[in-house]
């Protein structure tokens, strides 16, 4: 995560097996509940539902905007990055990663999907968050893993997204 003026730029690589940030890797498993789950863990409460994050893997969908799962996973990823800095309220610009072959055809739709709510309140791991999404940029997967370190990269660099 990088702070630019008063905005937190958070890179989130939206993979199918894992959703990754600069500091975290979380399996894309997600289960929704109408009531609070009995067991604790990575529970995100948003819009009247409870979501258990990170257990198992989400089945493949050719379009990640077909349901709410990647939106909720994105919120969890943001919360994890903010928590590392001890922040619960922030203006956020998302630097999102999509598979290279889909960036051209799905970039704008995915950008709209992750920015559909500009002001969001949710709870993650029993901690309340209040964020304002001020923008989003969509890049090929892997790029988001290094975006906050580009200024440190000199000469020729190679990125392998494994």
- CA distances in angstroms from 123 to 34, 62, 75, 113, 146, listed in the order given: 15, 29, 10, 20, 28
Please report the pLDDT score of residue 90 as a whole number: 98
Asked if pLDDT for residue 97 goes beyond 60, the answer is yes
Please tell me the class of the 2-149 domain. Answer: alpha beta
Please report, for the chain, the start and end positions of each structural domain, with discontinuous segments joined by +.
Answer: 2-149
pTM of the model: 0.86
- In this prediction, residue 159 has a pLDDT band, given cuts at 50, 70 and 90, of low
| Mean pLDDT lowest among 52-56, 80-84, 124-128, 156-160 | 156-160
């Amino acid at each position: 995560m990088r702070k630019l003026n008063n905005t937190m730029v958070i890179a989130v690589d939206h993979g199918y097996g894992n959703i990754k940030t600069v500091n975290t890797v979380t399996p894309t498993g997600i289960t929704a509940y109408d009531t609070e789950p009995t067991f604790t863990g990575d529970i995100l409460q948003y819009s009247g539902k409870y979501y258990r994050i990170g257990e198992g893997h989400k089945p493949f969908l050719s379009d990640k905007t077909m349901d709410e799962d990647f939106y909720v996973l994105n919120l969890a990823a943001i919360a994890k990055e903010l928590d590392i800095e001890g922040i619960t309220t922030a203006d956020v610009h998302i630097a999102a990663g999509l598979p290279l072959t889909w960036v051209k055809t799905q970039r704008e739709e995915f950008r709209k999907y992750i920015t559909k709510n500009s002001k969001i309140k949710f709870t993650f791991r029993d901690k309340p968050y209040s964020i304002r999404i001020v923008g989003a940029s969509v890049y090929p997967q892997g790029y988001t893993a290094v975006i906050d370190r580009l200024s440190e990269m000199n000469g020729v660099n190679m990125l392998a997204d494994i």
